[in-house]
Amino acid sequence: MKWNELTELQQLEEIKAISSQQKVLIFKHSTSCATSRGVLKALERDWDEAEMAHIQAYFLDLKTYREVSNKIAEMFGVVHQSPQVLLIEGEQATYNASHGLIDYDILKGVLL
């Protein structure tokens, strides 16, 4: 899986702009959480690059970039969770899930 690293607040404005043209997925990961690590590994294992070529995927290490994580919650009107995925379309979060609800087959239904 090819991730774009999300490390700067200014990238959130770029993500909003990109989301007007294509779907954007943000994965918020906690490096100290075994559940987050397991969900990330499963998602990366199952991700089909050809099937999801139309998706821009961003990875956020929320422990290192807490300010970015907080801004995501504020900007897109979602409650912070970890692990968490958000689908951004048309500059809005149209879907978000956390923990065991982050599943490739479920995401595929939302993203395709």
Query: Domain total for the chain?
Result: 1
Question: Cβ contacts of residue 43 below 8 Å, gap of 6+?
Answer: 1, 27, 102, 104, 107
Average pLDDT of span 6-19: 97
pLDDT digits (tens, 9 = 90+) for 59-108: 999 999 999 999 999 999 999 889 999 999 999 999 999 998 899 999 99
CATH code: domain of residue 95: 3.40.30.10
| Domain extent for 67 | 4-111
Sign of the dihedral through C-alpha 14, 20, 21, 26: positive
- Are 29 and 60 spatial neighbours (Cβ–Cβ below 8 Å)? yes
